[in-house]
Amino acid sequence: MQAVKNAFIIGHSYGEGGISTAINKQKAKCTPRMELPLIGATSVTCDDEDNAHKLCKDGGIRSAYPVIKIEQTLRVFFADNFTGVAAAQEKLGLTGKGIKVGVLDNGIDYHHPAFGNCFKTHGCRIQFGFDFIGDGTPENPQPDSDPFEPCDGHGTHVAGIIAADDPIKHFTGVAPKATLGIYRISNCDAGTSNDIIIAAMQQAKNDGMDIINLSIGHDFASWPEDPLAVAASKLSDSGIAVCVAASNQGDVGLFSLGSPDSGRNVITVGSVENSKSFYFFLISSASPSRKIIYATTRVTLFFGLSGPLPFKPTSDQPLTPNDACNGVTGDFTGFLALIARGGCSFTQKLDNAAAAGAVGVIFYNNNPDQPDRIDVATTPIPSAFISEKDGLLLLQQYNQNPDHVTLTFPNHTITVEVQTAAQPLNSSGMGPTFELDLKPDFLAPGGHIFSTFPIALGSYATLSGTSMAAAYMSGTVALFLQARGKTDPKRVRDIFQTTSRPLLMKNLEQESLGMIHSTAKQGGGLINAFNAVKSELLITPGKLALNDTPHFNGTASFKIENHSKNTKNYLLFHKPAASVRGFFGGFLVPLANTFFDPFYSKVEINPSSISLAPGKSIRINLRITPPAQLDPQEFGVYSGFIVIKNADKSSKGHKNTDRNDRGNRNYKDDIDGMDGIDDIDSRGHKNTGRNNKGHKRISRYHKRNLFDSNKNSFEFPEQFDKNHKHTNGNHKHTNGKHTNGNHKHTNGKHTNGNPKHTNGNHKHNDRSNDGKNDGNNDRSNDGKIRGNNDGKIDGNHKHNKGTDENDKNKGFNDDKKVFLAANGIDLRDNDPNEEFSVPYLGLKGDLSTFPVLGLDPATNSPFIVDNINGNQFFGENETVTFNFVGNDFPTLVYTMILGSPLVQGILVIANTDKVVGTIFQMEYVRRNDFFGGDVSFFDWNGTVLMDNSTMPKQVPDGSYQIILEALHIFGDPNNPNDFMKWRSPIIVVDSTSPSDATSNVTKNVNNVTSATKNAPFSKNVAPATKSVPLVNNVTNGSMGRKEAVAID
């Protein structure tokens, strides 16, 4: 991710089209790019940064954000049976007819028969649309009226999940009669930008869309104040249901959501696995009856060569380490190469095989995982990915009969069971948000989803990710709106949230682990469209965000309204979920190292049984005590569900649901059937408390050696493949030892805008974790742009003090349409199995003390990089000289462990607290993927903002230091003690010193220790915009909702 050069989103008070007034008044050389009335802003392009500063001097300008470039990456229907969609379609006849769904993506192949081979003509499925980027780039968009997209397929796939209706293949989406609006915001190669996305949102609103699907975003920017999040929430406030894909960064662990998925009023959707998937297969001449499934760059995509073709391995030994990484020995002309996974990237192996003459490559896995799509660069030969078991079989066949075994690739697919059906994908983003809102809101199918694809790319493909889950939810909301009428999107979210089914944690064999997934992972659980449509109970708010310990008074409440014609009797009880601990040694750790514990809150419910007459409501009051076992210094997340169950059904097993002191004893009595799919734990597994025997703390999802040992045989139901064991890639981590470090701060005083700072010495010990990830999930770490919509810092913002804004929404209770059937559909019945649940989430500890500014494990602290030779400098007593000519300037590198409301760099005279000015300031800053190598950096050009000036000035020659400050979440920007601080090495500005452009003389470097000379630092994206009144951190990596993928 990087900023579009000299382009900014300007918040102003001049109204739509009025930015020219400010431009003319300030004589700024800036040109409007796009009007963004949805957020009261206009994006502009200026000749240079000085002209941007001129514009910002105008009194009508209230904020400025960089325009950021977003590289869109991948952020069906067997799942319909366990989501209630099939029942809603078949029993209620719902199709989405009369509902308009806007898809903001990279366009669509509207020639596909599933979309009618037409665009905007009479009777066409797609009646609205526009191309906001055309053949241009985010820097220079060239809009046109045709949103056709032939090259990537993401938008076509998403649109097909929502509303495909293919009369030839008889493939249908969730809402096959919905009307589509297609708004192309990304082209094939160049990605998009935040202002383009917001402009498309505005157009979709103008076109009267009822639902907008956003399968795009930027990760780790988990602030509702981000411009994209603000715009999406405003759409919701206007009556449009906005379905947003959660991030695909769940492998990073807690706090891995982004924007706009952290928007307060949007519907944020995480992903679960499908029950089945389509695979192409190959056949070996040595075992012609065996179908060996394979994946390519998509799960369901043909290999490209039919065969028969001979093959031979690059190594005659099984699972050879670094197989084909250092070249391929021998002549492979006319042969397929069989190569073991591991040691280097698939692309490197593929290139080496092609150089040896291979016509294609068959990779085989180095773990028991089912083959998934692989990420390879464009190469002249095709590749496929098969399982470890099948790869070893082919190797054995070749060794028994060298050069005489051939492979054939039929152009047909078979259906394969997905073992982890209806379980959350590890990659699905994990909450809470930085302001401790409960997100995601719920889960929908997103793993192994088969849907439409551009005709030129095969017409159909299987993809995985939260992009697919959001699209599935958009189609489901269309069914709901058709049945119940158009209503407040926040109420739609409440209904789906409280009718979703909480999911159990299960091991590789789908056996219950005796705990429910945290609401930080699953929100309200797996959606059930049929239950949502049929529900006559309204529960508000649909979720309870309890905040951290200092901001939670121990009480919460929600309201239940009976909109049926019958008196309703319910029992209310508590179903606790696993507590999550992911903060150790001063760092947020990846999911693989996160602990899931049977530590449960104690909840008192008053009343615990109700009899509610038609048209009546009642408030349920809760007293919640966080788990005693959680240490506040570890910032553990606790959660659970308040269940409202039909009282006519036996309440056996619900006498005592708070098991804080008794572990998981008899816990299965409380959680049978909560998955909303067939209970596969009912045979021989009456006691699910096996976790009490040494496994109370689950240290990772699907950890192979934790669950496989010495188990009795397990009888799988028909829909599961008992011969396949699923794991989520080879995530290899060492158990590093962490020390918390000593953060020492002294009080500083801020007067008249000139902050005075004292030294903050951050000392941390090294940690033994190499941070490597050898799994199927390629995490693209994007550099996200943060900003406050009004340009102001509200350091006292405390989110969700046990209440929800939904409870204050007036007028909704009088909107009878939400509880009346449309098109004569009968929604009224008295279901004795009726059950609702309200998810809650809290954090034990004081988030305002969380160390937001982290220390890189390889370098011990933030550091300064000398861009001439790449040397790194850490200590405040070290000295390095720059003349700011060419590349002779410093780069500040740092890591954000958690997001911060305000990060700024203050320049002071060396060894003093005398402030020279501000070199940068960023609001609502994203976190970094610490273990993924993601860092933030700032290239300093030698200028500062002094006093109240809005124009940067070059500093004179002299010795300076940078004070890096990061405000704690919930911190007060006017209180120096609420900042974490770091003082840089001494930076000598000497305009007369030689530079790389004029001399080969060695640079002046003093007091350099042996620890300073680390490997040169390399940046792979453009630096952040410098010296703008409000800038945002830019880090290495790409942006978007990335599909889970194997890269090596």
Note whether 1045 and 75 are within 8 A (CB).
no
pTM given for the model? 0.78
- HEC letters along 580-638: EECEECCEECCHHHCEEECCCCEEEEECCEEEECCCCEEEEEEEEECCCCCCHHHCEEE
Q: Per-residue confidence at 188, pLDDT binned at 50, 70, 90?
A: confident
User: Residue 338 and residue 317: Cα distance in Å, rounded?
Assistant: 11
Q: Tokens 């239950």: give the residue.
A: 531
889-917 pLDDT per residue, tens: 999 999 999 999 999 999 999 999 999 99
Q: Return the higher-pLDDT residue of 57 and 204.
A: 204
Q: What is the pLDDT of residue 1012?
A: 33
* Element containing residue 162 per DSSP (H, E): helix 154-163
Q: Give residue 1044's pLDDT.
A: 40
Nearest to 484 by CA among 538, 533, 540: 533
Residue 203's pLDDT is what? 98
The amino acid occupying position 841 is L
H helix intervals, 339-465: 346-355, 388-400
Mean of pLDDT values over 963-991: 95
Integer Cα distance of 278 and 291 in angstroms: 13
- Alpha-helix runs per DSSP H in 357-451: 388-400
- The closest alpha carbon to 719, from 512, 510, 502, 527, belongs to 510
Enter the tokens of residue 114.
Answer: 């599933």
Q: Are strands 267-273 and 241-245 parallel, antiparallel or unpaired?
A: parallel
Number of other residues whose CB lies within 10 A of the CB of residue 284: 20
Does position 229 have pLDDT exceeding 80, yes or no? yes
Q: What is the pLDDT of residue 279?
A: 86
pLDDT number for residue 407: 96
What pLDDT was estimated at residue 299?
65
Structure tokens at 1045: 């993928």
* CA 744 to each of CA 407, 761, 850, 909, 982: distance values in angstroms, whole numbers, following the listed order: 65, 6, 14, 21, 10
Q: How far is CA 699 from the centre of its chain?
A: 21
pLDDT for position 131: 96
Domains 77-275+421-730+798-844 and 276-416 belong to one CATH topology: no
Q: Give the pLDDT confidence score for residue 395 in this predicted structure.
A: 96
Q: Decide: 75 and 217 in contact? Cβ < 8 Å.
A: yes
What Å distances lie between residue 247 and 307, 429, 781, CA to CA? Answer: 40, 5, 11
Confidence of residue 703 (pLDDT cuts 50, 70, 90): very low
Euclidean distance between CA atoms 743 and 979, whole angstroms: 11
User: pLDDT digits over 811-855, tens only?
Assistant: 333 333 334 444 444 554 456 678 999 999 999 999 999 999 986
**Average pLDDT rounded to a whole number, residues 595-604:** 97
Of 882, 889, 890, the residue nearest 994 (C-alpha): 882
Q: Under a CB-based contact definition with an 8 Å cutoff, are residues 688 and 664 in contact?
A: yes
Tell the burial category of 118 from Cβ atoms under 10 Å away from its Cβ (0-12, 13-18, 19+). Answer: middle
Task: Give φ, ψ of 941 to 5 degrees.
Answer: -95, 10
Across 577-587, average pLDDT: 93
Amino acid symbol at 386: I
**Backbone torsion region of residue 673, taken as left when φ is above 0, otherwise alpha when ψ lies between -120 and 50, otherwise beta:** left
Q: What is the pLDDT of residue 78?
A: 64
Positions marked active-site = 105, 154, 467
Whether the per-residue pLDDT at 496 is higher than 80: the answer is yes
- For 676, other C-beta atoms within 10 Å of its C-beta total 18
pLDDT value at position 688? Answer: 31
Residue 1019 has pLDDT above 50, yes or no: no
Q: What pLDDT shows up at residue 857?
A: 58
742-768+851-1017 under CATH 2.60.40.4070, yes or no: yes
Instruction: Compute the average pLDDT of residues 670-684.
Output: 30
Helix/strand/coil (H/E/C) assignment for every residue in 475-539: HHHHHHHHHHCCCCHHHHHHHHHHHCECCEEECCCCCEEEEECCHHHHCCCECCHHHHHHCCEEE
261 phi/psi in degrees, rounded to 5: -65, -10
Confidence of residue 191 (pLDDT cuts 50, 70, 90): confident
pLDDT higher at 413 or 720: 413
Q: Determine the pLDDT at residue 71.
A: 62
Q: With CA atoms as reference, report the closest residue to 417 among 386, 448, 452.
A: 448
Whether residue 723 is predicted with pLDDT greater than 70 in this model: the reply is no
pLDDT of residue 1047: 45
pLDDT of amino acid 376? 79
The secondary structure of the chain in percent helix, strand, coil, rounded to multiples of 5, reads: 15, 30, 50
The more confidently predicted of residues 344 and 766 is 344
pLDDT score recorded for residue 823: 43
Orientation of helix 49-56 relative to helix 19-26, angle to 10°:
110
**How far, in Å, CA of 98 to CA of 121, rounded?**
17
Residue 60 has pLDDT above 60, yes or no: yes
pLDDT, mean of residues 368-395: 86
Mean pLDDT within 534-550: 96
CB 186 within 8 A of CB 217: no
- Rounded-to-integer distance, Cα 914 and Cα 551, Å: 36
Give the pLDDT confidence of 388-411 residue by residue, as tens digits. Answer: 999 999 999 999 998 789 999 998
Confidence of residue 339 (pLDDT cuts 50, 70, 90): very high
Q: Which residues pair with 639 in a beta bridge?
A: 841
Q: Is the pLDDT of residue 771 over 80?
A: no
Q: What single DSSP character describes residue 46?
A: E
Q: Which residues pair with 894 in a beta bridge?
A: 936
What's the longest Cα–Cα distance across the chain? 89
Q: How far apart are the first and last CA of the chain?
A: 23
Q: What whole-number distance in Å separates Cα of residue 881 and Cα of residue 986?
A: 8
Topology of the domain comprising 276-416: Glucose Oxidase; domain 1 (3.50.30)
pLDDT value of residue 28: 94
pLDDT in tens, 278-303: 888 999 999 999 999 998 876 667 78
Quote the DSSP letter at residue 949: -
Structure tokens at 888: 């002779």
For residue 349, the SS3 value is: helix
Asked if 75 and 1041 count as a contact pair (C-beta separation under 8 A), the reply is yes
pLDDT tens-digit map of 69-103 = 876 544 445 676 789 999 999 999 999 999 999 99
- Per-residue pLDDT averaged across 730-757, rounded? 33
| Cβ contact 854:587 at 8 Å | yes
pLDDT, tens digit, 9 for 90 and up, residues 606-625 = 999 999 999 999 999 999 99
Run of H or E residues at 919 = strand 915-925
C-alpha 814/C-alpha 711 separation (Å) is 57
pLDDT of res. 611:
96
Measuring CA to CA, which residue among 112, 151, 144 is closest to residue 130?
144
Residue 964 buriedness (CB in 10 A; 0-12 / 13-18 / 19+): buried
DSSP label at 517?
Answer: P
- For the record, the structure tokens of 297 come out as 């760059």
Query: Mean of the per-residue pLDDT values for the chain?
Result: 79
What is the torsion angle, in degrees rounded to the nearest 10, for the CA atoms of residue 763, residue 767, residue 773 and residue 779?
Answer: -10
Give the pLDDT of residue 375. Answer: 75
Percent of the chain, pLDDT > 90?
Answer: 61
* d(C-alpha 832, C-alpha 42), whole Å: 54
Taking a C-beta distance cutoff of 8 angstroms, is the pair 596, 515 a contact? yes
635-670 tens-digit pLDDT: 999 999 999 999 875 444 344 333 333 333 222 323
For residue 1018, give Cα distances in angstroms to 481, 770, 872, 938: 51, 18, 11, 13
Architecture of 77-275+421-730+798-844 per CATH? 3-Layer(aba) Sandwich (3.40)
The pLDDT of residue 72 is: 53
Domain boundaries, the chain: 77-275+421-730+798-844, 276-416, 742-768+851-1017
Span of 630-644, 703-717, 778-792 with lowest mean pLDDT: 703-717
Nearest to 328 by CA among 317, 316, 315: 315
8 Å CB contact between 469 and 445: yes
Which pLDDT does position 881 carry in this prediction? 96
Q: At what angle do helices 489-499 and 466-484 cross, to 10 degrees?
A: 110
Percent of the chain with pLDDT over 70: 74
Neighbours of 753 (CB within 10 A): 9
pLDDT(952) > 90: no
What pLDDT, on the 0 to 100 scale, is given for residue 948?
65
Give the tokens for residue 4.
Answer: 């579009």
| CA contacts within 13 A on the Cβ side of 246 | 39
Residue 91 Rama label (left phi>0; alpha psi -120 to 50; beta)? alpha
| pLDDT band at residue 22 under the 50/70/90 scheme | very high
Nearest to 228 by CA among 101, 43, 61: 43
Strands (E), 434-506: 442-447, 449-452, 460-463, 504-506
| Choice between 669 and 418, residue whose per-residue pLDDT is larger | 418
Phi, psi of 667 (to 5 degrees): -65, -25
Residue type, 495: I
Higher pLDDT: 382 or 523? It is: 523
3-class DSSP state of 1027: coil
In degrees and rounded to multiples of 5, residue 229 shows phi and psi of -65, -40
